[in-house]
């Protein structure tokens, strides 16, 4: 892996979400999971990964100092070189972060509410992005998925073997994803739910799937927190 490594790798960790579905006053990324904040776990993995050079945390506007003191300084995350304010939507938070990066290397865009990214996953996606320029981590779905029409009736059933759950990190050549987001900001499209979608719609570059993990869940609801407790204790 060392010979492959020529370019700067930046992890952009998104921690600006309000967590309305959690039903708590505390934002989901700061809720405790086995005694540590949810956000701690992914930062710890990026800190320990020899592939990641620097970390940019995107927080809610006004939370920067709290994040610096209670997360970065408390747990000694020395790779964090900037904490910036996010926007009203996810894509705006990503855009804020991308504007602070130069065009070199690779960027790993990760949801801070996904605590169970691991170093093996980072290594897999790094190897693939070197070859394919744009990658997303995900897993094949276990359930049958159906597409509904406007009236709530089944419209079609896609072949399950072709359907994946998309996770993060989503990893791109920095120059490519900056260009894609720059085009997005000009079009003023607002229906963007992940970074791969921006690449898909703005650039003629195929996005490669890379195996993530069924443990790589997003902590969104109280049920997720219970499952996350089990995964965190196992680690």
Higher pLDDT, 17 or 47: 47
pLDDT digits (tens, 9 = 90+) for 96-152: 999 999 888 999 999 999 999 999 999 999 999 999 999 999 999 999 999 999 999
198, pLDDT greater than 70: yes
Alpha-carbon distance 225 to 163, whole Å? 26
C-beta separation of 103 from 177 below 8 A: no
Q: How many domains does the chain have?
A: 1
Q: How many CB atoms lie within 10 A of CB 102?
A: 10
pTM for this prediction: 0.93
- Return the closest-CA partner of residue 13 out of 69, 71, 65, 62: 71
Q: Is 235 inside a domain boundary?
A: no
Q: Is 234 inside a domain boundary?
A: no
19, pLDDT greater than 90: no
Q: Is 153 inside a domain boundary?
A: yes
CATH number, position 149: 3.90.550.10
pLDDT at res. 204:
86
pLDDT digits (tens, 9 = 90+) for 203-217: 989 999 999 999 999
Higher pLDDT, 16 or 191: 16
pLDDT at res. 171:
98
Q: What's the sign of the alpha-carbon dihedral 137, 49, 53, 76? A: positive
Q: Is 151 inside a domain boundary?
A: yes
Q: What is the DSSP string of 93-107?
A: HHHHHHTTS-SSSEE
pLDDT digits (tens, 9 = 90+) for 153-197: 999 999 999 999 999 999 999 999 999 999 999 997 778 889 999
pLDDT at res. 7:
87
235, pLDDT greater than 90: no
In our burial notation (b when 16+ CB lie closer than 10 A, e otherwise), range 70-84 reads ebbeeeebebbeebb
Q: Is 3 inside a domain boundary?
A: no
pLDDT at res. 25:
67
pLDDT band for 3, please (50, 70, 90 cuts).
Answer: very low
pLDDT digits (tens, 9 = 90+) for 55-85: 999 999 999 999 999 999 999 999 999 999 9
4, pLDDT greater than 80: no
Q: What is the DSSP string of the chain?
A: -TTT--S-EEEEEEE----GGGT-SS-GGGSEETTEEHHHHHHHHHHH-TT--EEEEEE-TT-HHHHIIIIIIHHT-TTEEEEEE--SSHHHHHHHHHTTS-SSSEEEEEETT-TT--HHHHHHHHHHHHHHSEEEEEEE-SS---EE-TTSSEEE---GGG-EEEEEEEEEEHHHHHHHHHHHHHHT-----SHHHHHHHHSS---EEEE--TT-----SHHHHHHHHHHHHH-
Q: What is the mean pLDDT of residues 229-234?
A: 93
Residue entry with tokens 């990893």:
171
Q: What is the mean pLDDT of the chain?
A: 92
Could you tell me the residue range of the domain that residue 40 belongs to?
Answer: 9-229
Q: Is 192 inside a domain boundary?
A: yes
Q: Point out which residues pair with 168 in neighbouring strands.
A: none
């Amino acid at each position: 892996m060392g010979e492959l490594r020529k370019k700067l790798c930046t992890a952009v960790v998104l921690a600006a979400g309000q967590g309305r579905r959690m039903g708590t006053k505390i934002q989901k990324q700061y809720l405790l999971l086995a005694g540590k904040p949810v956000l701690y776990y992914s930062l710890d993995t990026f800190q320990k990964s020899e592939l990641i050079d620097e970390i940019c945390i995107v927080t809610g506007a006004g939370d920067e100092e709290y994040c610096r003191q209670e997360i970065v300084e408390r747990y000694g995350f020395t790779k964090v070189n900037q904490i910036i304010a996010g926007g009203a939507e996810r894509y705006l938070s990503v855009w804020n972060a991308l504007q602070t990066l130069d065009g070199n290397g690779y960027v790993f865009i990760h949801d801070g509410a996904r605590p169970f990214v691991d170093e093996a996953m980072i290594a897999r996606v790094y190897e693939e992005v070197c070859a394919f320029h744009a990658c997303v981590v995900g897993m094949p779905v276990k359930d049958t998925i159906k597409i509904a029409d406007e009236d709530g009736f089944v419209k079609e059933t896609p072949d399950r073997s072709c359907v994946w759950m998309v996770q993060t990190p989503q990893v791109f050549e920095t120059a490519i994803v900056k260009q894609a987001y720059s085009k997005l900001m000009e079009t003023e499209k607002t229906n963007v739910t992940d970074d791969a979608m921006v690449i898909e719609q703005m650039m003629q570059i195929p996005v490669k799937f890379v195996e993530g993990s069924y443990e790589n869940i997003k902590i969104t609801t109280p049920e997720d927190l219970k499952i996350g407790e089990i995964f965190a204790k196992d680690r």
